[in-house]
Chains A and B, each alone.
Chain A
């Protein structure tokens, strides 16, 4: 059972940014969908594939409050992602999962939420964001800090617009210096320095941070300066995976298997890992 994936039908696809696509997938078989609905929680990941090419690991970008479809967002870079990017509505791809642990969002209830994402790491963050926004009354202030290299590289532009319009979400957008367009109205600067400038309060606040390793490193410093404790900062790690279920032996950081004990960790847990293995 464990290696045979679910067939998934492509419902639609969306170009998010140059080379970045989102696929909206529906389950072909009712029982597969029931399994997913019973097991999926925000933060979990899956292996998406096409027979003949292979499988790639990405998060489930859709929230646990919307389980009719699976959305996945990926950068076209290798064999599998290139083939997935070519899939059209009606085509069949595959999904294995959901695997791994999750963001404990019920523990976040009654707290303020600070989401920080860089580049193509918005999708995993977006799954948590919508999981919380769909039950908005349970949470305090919601702040989203999102940055990309250039304006074109921002993903989920239509949802950024939606969050911008909402008065119960504080959206802070930034692009790296040089990445702005003449009509860009938002911040210019790297995520860590913009975060320090916006200076959200650490009081009763949970931070969810996703991004490339270098951004994580500097953003953790910035969060520390702002007074966030490492146990109130959550992040999600990625590593190369083949099985997704703790057997193929490659995704561990030190003794921690990302696929089994992760992919969601607190910053305190990440700090306890051997940093040279990240």
Chain B
């Protein structure tokens, strides 16, 4: 026996959470890219998507966010932090790869200097993940040692029932338990079996990849040039990545008043590392692509003990030149030892 949430009770849950002060966000279809957005009823949700085109990262590390509001008089500056407001949010229907992505980025925003902008959004967010029963040709969670039903980063895990009527419900954290409080009367006990999770093939050997990247000789290998010739440096893969966290800081305003903002940036861009002198340590697309792969599967692991990839596959799925991480990591896997 386990707790069951039937689909026809979902609207009751949404209403209960909303009246408990939560905003409910779920995957929705939009005229451009599908994404997480606030919903009022279950029919707003697009839970049939393998995963939305944009990640939930958008709601924790927005594409652009105000950091500081400043006002300048002749000999005085007033600068105020613009921390996000307290938000009670339920993210419903998150995929395990996106939930893992949040957990992967937590140590980065928390080491030494704590980034309150990230944690203020993290602190009151409850992640309700739905295990994947479907996948596509780009999904690669199993290649990075996660699974279609990984619980990493999730507060509540939902497993779709075999009969398609609803989900098995499991609270994984205190936060998850607390979320189920207001909806307890809409859950029921049941013995329906969960549907089998999606079968996602292992597409590359991540251990071999890490071993090859760790070899200093690989850094200057001709491999990087050949594999990245198609890259046009558009940065889509970084913007759509649930773990990419690089940013720029820019001022909007004049020398009297304005806002200092944190904006997404990308290691794919030439300006990213350009010195004022004109010297650029990563002055070609291949060195920038190498940085991206090294950062994800070597550097980040060295700092935080985990690869900066949760296997969602968006980098490949949405790449305008059909390149992406998967191809590179497959090619590394197939390099002669």
Q: Which residues of A contact B (CB under 8 A)?
A: 1-5, 7, 9, 28, 50-56, 75, 77-78, 81, 83, 90-92, 94, 212-213, 238-240, 242-243, 245-255, 260, 274, 276-278
Contacts and interface: CB of A to CB of B under 8 A. Distances in A.
User: Nearest 5 CB-CB pairs, A to B?
Assistant: A249-B246, A52-B255, A245-B113, A51-B70, A255-B299
Helix, strand, loop or mixed for chain A's interface?
loop
Contacts of A3: 67-68, 81, 249, 260, 262
Given A55-B249, A212-B277, 19 more contacts: A1-B81, A4-B80, A52-B255, A53-B255, A78-B276, A90-B75, A240-B274, A242-B265, A246-B113, A247-B247, A248-B248, A249-B246, A254-B219, A255-B294, A255-B303, A260-B112, A274-B220, A277-B291, A278-B281
Count class of interface residues, chain B: 35 or more
A100 to B, nearest CB: 11
Nearest to B118: A247
Nearest to A47: B249
Interface in B246-267: 246-251, 253-256, 258, 260, 262, 265, 267
A83 B273 CA distance: 22
B184 interface: no
Contact of A2 (B114, B219, B267, B276): B114
A50 B258 CA distance: 12
B282 interface: yes
Interface in B201-256: 216, 219-220, 245-251, 253-256
B34 interface: no
B307 interface: no
Nearest to B266: A249
A52 B299 contact: no
Interface string B296-314: 0011001100000000000
A55 B249 CA distance: 9
Contacts of A53: 251, 255
B251 A54 contact: yes
A239 B291 CA distance: 15
B275 interface: yes
A92 B258 CA distance: 16
B116 interface: yes
10 contacts: A2-B115, A3-B260, A53-B251, A77-B276, A240-B272, A248-B247, A249-B245, A253-B281, A254-B299, A255-B299
A185 to B, nearest CB: 30
A212 B278 CA distance: 12
A91 B275 CA distance: 27
Contacts of A7: 76-77, 79
B223 to A, nearest CB: 13
A276 B219 contact: yes
Contacts of A212: 277
B75 A91 contact: yes
A54 B250 contact: yes
B109 to A, nearest CB: 6
A52 B316 CA distance: 38
Counting chain B CB atoms within 10 Å of each CB, the highest count among A52, A212, A276 belongs to: A52
Counting chain A CB atoms within 10 Å of each CB, the highest count among B254, B273, B294 belongs to: B273
A255 B219 contact: no
B187 interface: no
A140 to B, nearest CB: 35
Contacts of B303: 255
Contact of A247 (B108, B287, B299): B108
A212 B277 CA distance: 10
A13 B111 CA distance: 37
Contact of B254 (A2, A52, A242): A52
Interface string B107-129: 01101111110000000000000
B302 A242 contact: no
B279 interface: yes
A240 B275 contact: yes
Contact of A255 (B116, B251, B302): B302
B198 interface: no
A278 B281 CA distance: 5
A30 B331 CA distance: 58
A247 B110 CA distance: 9
B295 interface: yes
B335 interface: no
Contacts of A239: 273, 275, 281
A90 to B, nearest CB: 6
Contact of A248 (B72, B220, B265, B276): B265
A94 B77 CA distance: 9
A2 B255 CA distance: 22
B113 A51 contact: no
A258 to B, nearest CB: 10
A56 B216 CA distance: 32
A274 B219 CA distance: 7
Contacts of B220: 274, 276
